Structure 1
Amino acid sequence: MNISAIIKLTVSMALFGSIGFFTVHTGVPATELVFVRCICATLFLGGMWLITGGHKSEVWDKKEILQTIICGVFIVLNWVFLFKAFEEMSISIAISIYNLAPIFVLILGAIFLKEKMTIQALVATITCFIGSIFIIGLQNFVSFSEFMQSGFVWALLSAVFYALTMLTSKTITKLSSYALTYIQTTVGIVMLLPFIDFALFDGLTSTNWFYILGTGFIHTGFVYYLFFDSIRSLSTILVSVLVFVDPVVAILLDMLLLDFMPSIVQTMGILLIFGGIFYTIYVPKKKRLPQEVS
């Protein structure tokens, strides 16, 4: 067991869990925040890439570069939609819906990659769907306008594009993690530049800039460095379990620092979603383990 890698991944997930708290204090809309985040991450990860000398041993494959650019579009849209969800709903609710991504990976994999949808996966999907309804509140499904203003759509889209990011990057094997992320964040800069209102940065306080730069250098640059540096030394099951540190920290910070208190129904929804995700990722693999060993 690689203790150093476990600590790095745990720290990266704990730090990422605070991104919602940072976001609500930046004072800028989602698109502008993601733009600055991409700039900071490109500088940080590009610098690390050069310092470690990884750029000298890169294997540049045209197909993988194109695939990485598409993946970059998906991950940038994932960030924008997640931050827009933070603007409309509590961090806990947004993060809970956002973490439906593994379920969407199963669904999209079954549709586009012809992967088999097991009974366990179907049960988990239905469980998570019911949980999402509990979280957003049945009353918001009565009026279409209230439903659209709830932030549920943004959170759901962020989960879908996170799933697309995972599926797209699944077969990228030749590019290093630094090259992969550097290309993705550079795509984000180019992609968002035409939509940025630079006037929104006028009048920001030093506190605003602290949180803005924190989302870039800490939550994207440093966290991605720790994440990519650790996952290659850990088993898939261990990684799948440790990523739950992210939503737990996010929900705790939302409750302790932003005074969010979920209702009984919302609490049930959160438990259903994470129960379904945990079952999808961990339990079926645990059941298969004895067969694989033998």
Structure 2
Amino acid sequence: MQESKLKNYLLLHLIVFIWGFTAILGALISLDAIPLVWYRMSLAVVFILFYFLFKKKSFKVDAKGVFKFLVTGVIIALHWIFFFKAIKVSNVSVALVTMSTGAFFVSLIEPIFFKRRIKTLEIVLGLIVILGLYIIFNFESQYKLGIIYALISSFLSALFSVFNGLFIKRYEADTISLYQLLFGVLFITIYLLINNGFSTSFFEVQKSDWLYLIILSSICTAYAFIASVKVMKYLSPYTVMLTINLEPIYAIILAIFIFGDKEKMNPAFYLGAFIVLFVVLLNGVIKNRTVIRNKIKEKTVRKK
């Protein structure tokens, strides 16, 4: 049992490392954000379709589910477009630190859909995150557009995460992913058709870009998704949350090694980044302690 936990814990770290590598690939691929996301989602759909066929899984979904996945598929497509735009106009470090604000956005959105009160602590922590971003924004003014794009991407990420939190109660995770990716591709395809985006140059992809796109769509999207679902069956939410919060750190370290001076920032950036990442980590620790405490209380009440 202990060996199984260790194996899955190491696998989780690999998954988080892979997610962090997504940003690196986004910087390495020469395509603009929209074609990059179109290729990523299209290829990921193909890989997950093969997975469904291999596992002989059913594609059947009710009409309400189709509509839900249509809406969230569009949100996910926009989230990735703004994410890669942020990387293209700034760098990996700025984009990922700003993306860490997702926890703050979730704390504002979640109460609306789960019908609970907004907690004062979440607002306080959110304000501290804004302080960290202000420090970055103020001292790295050349990256303002990248920060704005990353904030939009972070909000959209929080939005579809909350929706998926509702969907997972009724639908299987791989089914949700397949249809959301499919509808995301269709959304971008319609946009490109309207704007005559499917030119000859759109399909002229460099060999190195093809390699990066295949890695991005197969390992970083299809595999990481399926593996993460498996891992969550064996590890506690607390362990998963703490490990996932290492993603920006892994990616920033990788980016410094790969891109060198382009990723080296002034000391104020690292101060702001530390504030943002520390608050995100603290928020996760507090939330999971509350969950554990509530579970203990429930067990105690049952025994009585």
Q: Which of 149, 156, 165 is equivalent to 1:161?
A: 156
Q: Which of 267, 273, 277 is equivalent to 2:270?
A: 267
- The letter for the 1-side match of 2:159 is L
- Partner of 1:17: helix, strand, or coil? helix
Percent of pairs with identical residues: 18
Q: Which residue does the alignment assign to 1:36?
A: 39
- Partner of 1:28: helix, strand, or coil? coil
Structure 1 residue 291, shift from structure 2 partner: 5.5
- Partner of 1:9: helix, strand, or coil? helix
- The letter for the 1-side match of 2:257 is L
Q: Which of 185, 189, 196 is equivalent to 1:193?
A: 189
TM-score calculated relative to the size of structure 1: 0.89
Rounded Cα–Cα distance in structure 2 between residues aligned with 1:101 and 1:164: 9
Rounded Cα–Cα distance in structure 2 between residues aligned with 1:60 and 1:139: 47
Q: Which residue does the alignment assign to 2:92?
A: 91
- Pick the structure with more helix per residue: 2
Rounded Cα–Cα distance in structure 2 between residues aligned with 1:233 and 1:135: 38
Structure 1 residue 287, shift from structure 2 partner: 5.4
Structure 1 segment 142-157 matched on structure 2, within 5 A: 150-157=145-152
Aligned length: 286
Structure 1 residue 137, shift from structure 2 partner: 2.3
Q: Which residue does the alignment assign to 1:143?
A: none
Rounded Cα–Cα distance in structure 1 between residues aligned with 2:12 and 2:75: 23
Q: Which residue does the alignment assign to 1:80?
A: 81
Structure 1 residue 89, shift from structure 2 partner: 0.8
The alignment's C-alpha RMSD in Å is 2.1
Report if aligned partners of 1:15, 1:219 keep a CA contact under 8 Å in 2.
Answer: yes
Measured at CA, do residues 267 and 97 of structure 1 come closer, stay the same or move farther in structure 2, by a change above 3 Å? same
Structure 1 spans left out of the alignment, 5+ residues? 141-145
Cα displacement string for residues 132-151 of structure 1 (whole angstroms, at most 9, x for unaligned residues): 111222573xxxxx77x631
Report if aligned partners of 2:98, 2:154 keep a CA contact under 8 Å in 1.
Answer: yes
Cα displacement string for residues 6-29 of structure 1 (whole angstroms, at most 9, x for unaligned residues): 233221110111112211221110
- Partner of 1:137: helix, strand, or coil? helix
Report if aligned partners of 1:137, 1:266 keep a CA contact under 8 Å in 2.
Answer: no
Q: Which residue does the alignment assign to 1:252?
A: 253
Rounded Cα–Cα distance in structure 1 between residues aligned with 2:140 and 2:253: 26
Structure 2 spans left out of the alignment, 5+ residues? 298-304
Higher RCO (C-alpha under 8 Å, 6+ residues apart): 1
Rounded Cα–Cα distance in structure 2 between residues aligned with 1:287 and 1:66: 34
Q: Which residue does the alignment assign to 2:137?
A: 136
